[in-house]
Structure 1
Amino acid sequence: MYFHFIFAGYYFCRHTLVASTVELNIPVYAVFVNGKICKDPKIVTPNDFSVSVFVDQLPGLNTLGISLSRIDYAPYSINPPHVHPRSSEVFVVMEDTLYAGFITSNRQNPNVMYKLFAMILHPGDVYVFPRGLIHFQYNVGKGNAVAFAGFNSQYPGLITLANALFGSEPPLPSDVLAKAFQLDEEVVEYLQSIPWIQN
């Protein structure tokens, strides 16, 4: 699975269309918005609004509260359970078939602790993942799948649950994880010993 991040945006400083960069010589009279310098509108170019990264590399995203990513899935691959702590996500399938869903954060039924909302998505289908809820995607098709995800944050954040819990530095105490997951401590220690690849 590959992640490609594509972002575009602009913001206004003193009611003028501008973009900001970090490569400027900062004059004494420079205008700053949220700690980023505004670029002179006379020298703004399309390249000031497009790059494949987050707000630190594309300052034009500053204050917009948006970002976009493209996700490519090999056959039968997953985007494992994860959360975006600072953003909701709108998800659009472009190619092949994905099984996607999220888990609620509160009890809607005293007999059910958490509820899974999931479905099969085909090209053109759109799905929404609420901010901070655990969600995933799984390519159930036989070919490569492609999807785009839009976020209402310039820094949506990403916490892949297994990576965070079993691959943190320093590691969480194994007895804490053993109790949380009702596993033998040896199983937890094994899980903590294997490399957790960040996606």
Structure 2
Amino acid sequence: MATIRDLGLVIGLMMAFFMASIVFADPDMLQDVCVAILKPAVAVNGFPCKNITDISANNFFFAGLVKPGLTNNALGVNVTQANVNQIPGLNTLGVSMARIDYAPGGLNPPHVHPRATEIVFVLTGELNVGFVNTDNKLFSKTIKAGEVFIFPRGLLHFQINNGKVPAAVIAGFNSQFPGTQRVADALFASSPKIDNGVLAKTFKIGTNLVEEIKFNLGPKM
């Protein structure tokens, strides 16, 4: 049986753990900037900081969103990221951007951003956009140049250009590295692959169709 001393030790350890979690749960920056070391020797949650003497204005600059991205691919869409990988000065700041270009008929297929809410501002053209909440309700709208739409964090969403001219948006995220997981790729092009039986039962389709989808989404030699 546990003694009073044993119980006291357990309670003490639990209190120490609780206090430590509070100490290290400070969401605010403790310095002016923390320019990312993108290939650190030790893995951390995020990126460690460069020495202040080793940074310059270029660490906070990126010109990659100026020009439209090429959309001559199967989906007719191009996403140009402007996150911490392109702008190391974003490290710890909790924001990033992207430019998304759409050919006529171009689709940014259903996907999620596990670490960020997204807000899009339409530069040119017109898009049909939408997201699905956890009750499987679709919130969809057609948006055009100068208008804004929001995709809540972690919810499935998409954009499609149903028009006859190209379209483009600027997207903002409340994360330095929002992450993107396309649903079709996650299910049918994972590595190693998800068992055909799981997918066939999930979608109520035959395993031959599962194989066909995997082949179409997989890397082409």
TM-score, structure 2 normalization: 0.69
1:76 to 68, 89, 105: 105
The 5-angstrom pairing of residues 1-199 of structure 1 reads 14=31, 17-18=32-33, 20=35, 22=37, 35-40=48-53, 44-51=55-62, 52=64, 53-106=82-135, 114-196=136-218
CA-to-aligned-CA distance 1:102-149 (integer Å, 9 cap, x gap): 00113xxxxxxx110001001011000000100000001111101011
The 3 A distance-change label for structure 1 pair 133 and 89 is same
Does the CA-based 8 Å contact 2:110-2:182 persist in structure 1? yes
Question: Identical aligned pairs, as a percentage?
Answer: 42
The alpha-carbon deviation at position 58 of structure 1 amounts to 2.7
Q: Which runs of 5+ in 1 are unaligned?
A: 1-10, 24-32, 107-113
CA-to-aligned-CA distance 1:12-51 (integer Å, 9 cap, x gap): 764xx4463649xxxxxxxxx96222422xx753312013
Q: Which runs of 5+ in 2 are unaligned?
A: 1-27, 39-45, 65-81
The alpha-carbon deviation at position 76 of structure 1 amounts to 0.7
CA distance in structure 1 between the aligned counterparts of 2:85 and 2:107, rounded to whole angstroms: 28
> What amino acid does structure 1 have at the position aligned with 2:174?
N
TM-score, structure 1 normalization: 0.76
Structure number having the greater strand percentage: 1
Segments ≥4 residues shifted beyond 6 Å: none
The 3 A distance-change label for structure 1 pair 132 and 59 is same
The alpha-carbon deviation at position 91 of structure 1 amounts to 0.8
> What amino acid does structure 2 have at the position aligned with 1:169?
S
Does the CA-based 8 Å contact 1:19-1:49 persist in structure 2? no
CA distance in structure 2 between the aligned counterparts of 1:131 and 1:12, rounded to whole angstroms: 22
> What amino acid does structure 1 have at the position aligned with 2:211?
E
CA distance in structure 2 between the aligned counterparts of 1:73 and 1:192, rounded to whole angstroms: 25
The alpha-carbon deviation at position 189 of structure 1 amounts to 1.2
Q: Secondary structure at the match of 1:192?
A: helix
Structure number having the greater helix percentage: 2
CA-to-aligned-CA distance 1:122-177 (integer Å, 9 cap, x gap): 10110000001000000011111010110000110100001111111111000100
CA distance in structure 2 between the aligned counterparts of 1:22 and 1:83, rounded to whole angstroms: 27
